[in-house]
């Protein structure tokens, strides 16, 4: 059963949208779809269009802070809608923001929220954004958790999926359950959620397993014990050329 309204988590959605030229031409706005969808649940939603880096930076450093004052007591959820790929996101003017640079924008926000920033990355290969939390040093996390797609969803998939996600989150569904519902509603099975802690621990485990100096030493030892004949010949020819 849905949790009573007085016991539900109070949040608002802050959308930073950087549409492609094609979307601008056709007047397609994911932010407007999200705004209308969450309005039905009486959830405030603010949409900011950032066509370049200056506008994007202003949205996160100024716009979000202003809205937090406006909706004091509500938890902000950051929704970034843009073109994306494995290395980062791309703005309307084709400027690429790498995951490393996006991390710099998000860390101060997440720190101010006591590691409570939920980021929804509505872009192709947005799940690659988990790389923002993959570091060895004990630094601040850029988010608490990230909700994104690991492949290249249709524009309609993301609109339906995130509308479903916010609808269920307003009823205090667990994030993982809401993401599962995103998959069902959109018919796209590649929406995921992962916390920054999960991403970092997985990365650290990978680093521990891959001991590069030890691997190199082992490879050299294997080569010296049983060197293939063709490699031995190449090694000999190389020595003769040097002479």
Residues 6 or more apart in contact with residue 110 via CB below 8 angstroms: 116, 117, 140, 141, 142, 143, 144
pLDDT of the residue at 241: 42
What would the pLDDT profile of 76-124 be if each residue is shown by its tens digit?
A: 999 999 999 999 999 999 999 999 999 999 999 999 999 999 999 999 9
Q: Does residue 75 lie within any of the structural domains?
A: yes
Mean predicted lDDT score pLDDT of the chain: 89
- Are 44 and 12 a contacting pair, CB within 8 Å? yes
Q: Are residues 116 and 233 in the same domain?
A: no
Same domain, 192 and 225: no
Count the domains in the chain: 2
Report the alpha-carbon distance of residue 117 to residue 74 in Å, rounded.
12
pLDDT digits (tens, 9 = 90+) for 184-208: 999 999 999 999 999 999 989 888 8
Q: pTM here? A: 0.85
| Residue 126 predicted with pLDDT over 80 | yes
2: in domain: no
pLDDT (0 to 100) of residue 243: 39
Element containing residue 46 per DSSP (H, E): strand 45-49
Confidence of residue 7 (pLDDT cuts 50, 70, 90): low
- Decide which of 240 and 147 is more confident: 147
Looking at the structure, tell me whether residues 202 and 219 fall in a common domain: no
In this structure, the answer to whether residues 106 and 15 fall within a common structural domain is yes
Q: For residue 62, what is the DSSP state? A: I
pLDDT of residue 224: 60
The reported pLDDT for the residue numbered 242 is 43
Which run of H or E residues covers position 8?
A: none
Residue 197 tokens read as: 């802690």
> Is the pLDDT reported for residue 215 higher than 50?
yes
Region label for 149, one of left (φ > 0), alpha (ψ between -120 and 50) or beta (otherwise): beta
126 lies in the same domain as 46? yes
145 and 183 co-located in one domain: yes
- Which domain does 13 fall in, by range? 7-207
Per-residue pLDDT tens digits for 37-62: 999 999 999 999 999 999 999 999 99
Residue 240, pLDDT score: 47
Give the three-class secondary structure for 33: helix
User: Is 21 a member of any domain?
Assistant: yes
DSSP class of 94: S
For residue 1, tell me if it sits in a domain.
Answer: no
């Amino acid at each position: 059963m849905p949790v009573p309204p007085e016991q539900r988590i109070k949040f608002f959605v802050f959308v930073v949208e950087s549409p492609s030229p094609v979307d601008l031409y056709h007047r397609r706005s994911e932010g407007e779809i999200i705004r209308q969808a969450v309005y039905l649940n009486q959830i405030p939603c603010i949409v900011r269009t950032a066509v370049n880096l200056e506008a994007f930076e202003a949205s996160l450093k100024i716009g979000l802070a202003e809205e937090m004052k406006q909706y004091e007591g509500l938890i902000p959820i950051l929704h970034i809608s843009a073109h994306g790929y494995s290395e980062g996101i791309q703005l309307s003017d084709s400027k690429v923001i790498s995951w490393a640079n996006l991390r710099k924008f998000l860390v101060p926000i997440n720190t101010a929220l006591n590691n409570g920033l939920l980021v929804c990355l509505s872009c192709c290969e947005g799940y690659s954004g988990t790389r923002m939390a993959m570091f060895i040093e004990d630094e601040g996390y850029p988010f608490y958790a990230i909700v994104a797609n690991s492949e290249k969803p249709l524009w309609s998939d993301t609109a339906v999926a995130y509308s479903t996600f916010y609808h269920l989150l307003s009823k205090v569904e667990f994030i993982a359950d809401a993401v599962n519902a995103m998959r069902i509603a959109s018919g796209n099975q590649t929406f995921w959620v992962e916390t920054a802690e999960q991403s970092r621990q997985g990365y650290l485990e990978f680093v521990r397993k891959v001991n590069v100096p030890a691997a190199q030493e082992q490879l050299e030892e294997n080569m010296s014990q049983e060197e293939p004949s063709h490699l031995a010949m190449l090694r000999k020819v190389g020595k003769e050329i040097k002479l």
